[in-house]
A and B are shown apart, each in its own frame.
Chain A
Amino acid sequence: MVSTLFDKVWRQHLVVEETKETPAILYIDTHLIHEVTSPQAFQMLRDKGLKLRRPERTFATSDHSTPTSKANSDGEFIFYGEQEKYQVEQLKTNCEDFGITIFPLGDKKQGIVHVIGPERGITQPGQTIVCGDSHTSTHGAFGALAFGIGTSEVGYTFATQCIPQRKPKTFGIEINGELSLGVSAKDVILAIIEQIGIGGATGHVIEYFGTTVSGFSMDERMTVCNMSIEAGARAGMIAPDKTTFDYLEGKEYAPKGEDWNKAVSQWQQLYTDPEATFDKHIQIDASKITPMITYGTNPQMAIKIGQKIPVKNETQALKYMGFSENDDLVGKAVDVVFIGSCTNSRISDLRDAANIFKGRKVADKVRALVVPGSHEIKQQAEAEGIANIFIDAGAEWREPGCSMCLGMNGDIIQSGQFCVSTSNRNFEGRQGKGGRTLLASPVTAAAAAVSGVIVDPRKLM
């Protein structure tokens, strides 16, 4: 049978095939949970007197509501408010009550759920992975079928280790060519979303492939897959290869010894057969991509830095942002720069940003936050001397978490402020009521931080 990568993973997890009347039942290998979308699912278990079918397949961490400031001298974390504190404590209690492994706040393994899954080797090729978070698509970088679910399905996964699913369509995105200096995986995915649109992949699972993708590191692959949801895709996937195996080998939860060899030989079968076709297929020339930035209130509203805001009748978005058609963003003053989130908080993102910060200072009146994706990344950045580059430049070097990506923990921007952010969503009010977000890569964000205005980062390289 000729199959795509998606078909292979889908078929291997079918408990019951779909019929005209009923959806397929899909087995879930790995379930990741966090404090925001799980409490009501635990309550459902309690209300119905249920327990977890496979507690060893669920892993928990706190990331959304957690403070990014250090614990005080008594080891206590200062939360934004009582609700945030209760939510984080409640997750810990729920995990203890139901026998779930948790990497809690204060633990050396804690971090953003989509950063620590891969980092611990929990994320593996060919798995089905769900999490009550739309950026679960990140894990598709390993050749897993990984997608976001709502709280009801978190409960279903707890109780049955399965979810009902209709088979999605497939969308092949072939990316070939070399990226030029100053252009990153973030620019690639922003360029793709600009091209296909915020709903362009609704109902589809994207597979990214081509020479550019094969040449990407795992960090870069995760950045691309992470934002698949911003084009409406159910998931994004990349076939596993040597880069994937090298990344995973030796990780805490990765198979060891003979099991490792067995696993790799199975993972090597996870690719799209040459004769297989996708429901949709586009080609992207990576060599033509230049640094990107968004100007509006969804990730599709993006331009090449240096281009003018297009005439597209996006009245409401431009009014919110305080921009006009034909405006040039270069030279616009920025108030805040945020480097972090499940899109761009990994060590290579921090290294890229540090190269710009090195020997420079954060511009007057700019607040720059650098929030590593996990404690492991934080420690690595400190050991490499990168953290000191941020600190010497005058940026805030903070504790891991989702932070200003969605501002649930109090890391917010003020109404009317402009924030160049390496996160994934520039929706109205996402980073704080009335705040205006411009999405960009770590180098572009760093360049804005040291310049005080939006600049083409290549001018600083």
Chain B
Amino acid sequence: MKKFEKLNTSIAVIDIENIDTDQIIGSDHLKITDKKGLGQHLFSDWRYLANGENNPDFVLNRPSTRAAKVIVTGDNFGCGSSREHAPWALLDYGIEVVISSSIADIFSNNSIKNGLLPIQISETQQQFLLSKNGEGIEVDLASQQIQCDDKLIGFKLEPFAKYCLLNGIEQLDFLFNNESKITDYENSLVS
């Protein structure tokens, strides 16, 4: 997994609450057996018109926000299905950070394992960022701070998630490092 580096980019705002993983990546695109090429299907029902052309009103189709690496959304982002295709699609498109006042549990877990940073901030801070579509933002994971428009916003992150993201460490290695304890546990089941 790639290390999460300090990021200077622009913000794309999707001011919708409860964006579920079916909207992030529809079930039509879960039929692959690898992880490739999901970015083109990200938010496809919103991003494309019925004739397949880009919907000019959707934020990721506008020139000023097309290359944004940060999305700021309404409450409860990533609810619904456990499909890891959702963070795969976001990352494949180029999104590296999702910011909301709350992010669903499974989506958040899946994101961290792939190098996508889920940031939860207060509703007031969220309202501020929701008004900054297209503006510049700096995301510094090491200091756990976002800077936008000269405003500095600190955020919390579970320490192990931070450690894995910053160092590009796969959580599987953490489990393997504890293999003797897993064996001890299994032996205790038998006795």
Contacts and interface: CB of A to CB of B under 8 A. Distances in A.
Q: Which of B16, B33, B114, B179 has the most CB of A within 10 A?
A: B33
Interface stretch (B99-107, B130-138, B148-156): B99-107
Given A22-B160, A199-B104, A298-B18, A152 B182 contact: no
Contacts of B171: 152, 156, 164
A150 B79 CA distance: 13
Contacts of B174: 22, 164
Given A22-B160, A156-B175, A430 B22 contact: yes
B163 interface: yes
A429 interface: yes
Contacts of A149: 82, 106, 109
B83 interface: yes
B190 interface: no
| Interface residues on chain B, size class | 35 or more
Nearest to B77: A199
Contacts of A168: 105
Interface residues of A, number: 62
B23 A148 contact: no
Nearest to A25: B178
A16 interface: yes
A162 B102 CA distance: 27
A65 B84 CA distance: 17
A376 B188 CA distance: 36
Nearest to A402: B27
A150 B113 contact: yes
A150 B178 contact: no
B34 interface: yes
B35 A40 contact: yes
A151 B184 CA distance: 26
Given A155-B172, A160-B179, A134 B110 contact: no
A27 B87 CA distance: 25
Contacts of A159: 172, 175-176
A40 B33 contact: yes
Contact of A27 (B109, B172, B185): B185
A429 B160 contact: no
Given A36-B30, A162-B182, A150 B110 contact: yes
B167 interface: no
A16 B20 contact: no
B130 to A, nearest CB: 15
B76 interface: yes
Contacts of A428: 22-23, 45
A337 B11 CA distance: 42
A55 interface: no
Contact of A406 (B23, B27, B172): B27
Contacts of B87: 150
Nearest to A431: B27
B80 interface: yes
B109 A153 contact: yes
List the 10 closest pairs (A to B, CB-CB), nearest first. Answer: A150-B110, A150-B84, A39-B33, A148-B82, A83-B31, A199-B76, A152-B113, A134-B82, A151-B84, A160-B175
Interface of A: 15-16, 20-23, 25, 27, 36-37, 39-40, 43, 53-54, 64-65, 81, 83-84, 86-87, 90, 132-134, 136, 148-153, 155-156, 159-164, 166, 168, 198-199, 202-203, 229, 232, 234, 298, 300, 316, 406-408, 425, 427-430, 433
24 contacts: A16-B181, A25-B175, A25-B181, A27-B182, A27-B186, A37-B30, A37-B84, A87-B31, A133-B81, A134-B80, A149-B109, A152-B114, A152-B172, A156-B171, A159-B175, A162-B175, A162-B182, A164-B171, A166-B158, A199-B76, A199-B102, A202-B76, A202-B102, A430-B22
